Amino acid sequence: MRGLISVKGKNQARFIRLSSLEDGYTEADLRAHFLGQQEHKPREKRNYHTDARPFNRVIDIQSKLQNKGAGYQRWASIYNLKQISKTLLFLRDHKIESMEQLDQLVRQQTAKRDALLSSIQQSEKRLAEIGTLKKHIINYSKTRATYEEYRKAGYSKKFLEAHREEITIHKAAKVAFDELGVKKLPRVKDLSVEYAEVLAAKKQTYAEYRLAKDDAQELLIAQKNIASLYDAERKEEEQKRRKDEQSH
């Protein structure tokens, strides 16, 4: 049905309509909580780790949004109900209980993402090196006899003019070997085997990278949303403090 808000966690196959959730978590309940029109009553009490900034209980975040101060209104105008609900589902599904825990997970996941990306880049570099090396080994082999004749001819200019292209290709191959640090030429067959292995490893790493990237992105979004909420809270408290100081 149109007009009904549906959200889902990352590992959920289907979207969940807020209207189908238990009491206290429906779209109507959430709107009432955010507008400060209804008090949230959790179905049961649960114990959570103590931290300077706990937030994983829905009531904790909703209670902050019940305040109708300007800071919260600005925050609510930027982050709509659906986005807030998705963040709450994400925190619940991943059992994230504090800002400290969320920050730590963000650091861990972004580090994992970056390490996988670095591995992919190293694989791509090696694949390029193998491709270049194979090309020059083949060119070197094809032009070796001509270059030997050129050397035996005392590097004759006449011979060079007659075989310039082959000699130029041969020299380019020797320069490439030096740049790649090749002392002994490997067999093309061995390079082809290594290429296949590196390519397979790269594909596997890329699959892991995509998952890690998505996980990191979800954590970063949750971190941004919650940080924005606490920022609104700090601004609201600062405004109240100033008003109190001015009234005295």
At residue 231, the pLDDT reads: 76
* Residue 16 backbone phi and psi in degrees, to 5: -110, 125
At residue 161, the pLDDT reads: 96
Encode pLDDT of 203-246 as tens digits: 999 999 999 999 999 999 999 888 877 777 777 778 778 887 77
In order along its 248 residues, the chain shows pLDDT tens digits of 555 556 566 566 666 654 555 555 555 555 555 555 555 454 443 333 334 445 544 445 555 556 556 666 666 666 555 677 788 788 888 888 888 899 999 999 999 999 999 999 999 999 999 999 999 999 999 999 999 999 999 999 999 999 999 999 999 999 999 999 999 999 999 999 999 999 999 999 999 999 999 999 999 999 988 887 777 777 777 877 888 777 76
Report field, pTM of the whole predicted structure over 0.85 = no
d(CA 143, CA 137): 10
d(CA 79, CA 70): 14
Contacts of 82 (CB under 8 A, 6+ apart): 5, 7
At residue 99, the pLDDT reads: 86
Cβ-based burial of 120 (10 A; exposed 0-12, middle 13-18, buried ≥19): middle
d(CA 195, CA 188): 10
Give one DSSP letter per residue of 168-190, joined into a string.
HHHHHHHHHHHHTT-SSPPPHHH
Contacts of 71 (CB under 8 A, 6+ apart): 232, 233, 235, 236, 239
Instruction: Select from 87, 15, 79 the least CA-distant residue to 58.
Output: 87
Instruction: Select from 180, 22, 139, 183 the least CA-distant residue to 92.
Output: 22
SS (H, E, C) 47-114: CCCCCCCECCCHHHHHHHHHCCCHHHHHHHHHCCHHHHHHHHHHHHHCCCCEHHHHHHHHHHHHHHHH
Q: Where are the domains of the chain?
A: 1-40+52-97, 115-219
Query: What's CA 105's distance to the chain center, in Å?
Result: 12
At residue 14, the pLDDT reads: 64
Tokens representing residue 244 in the block? 């109190």
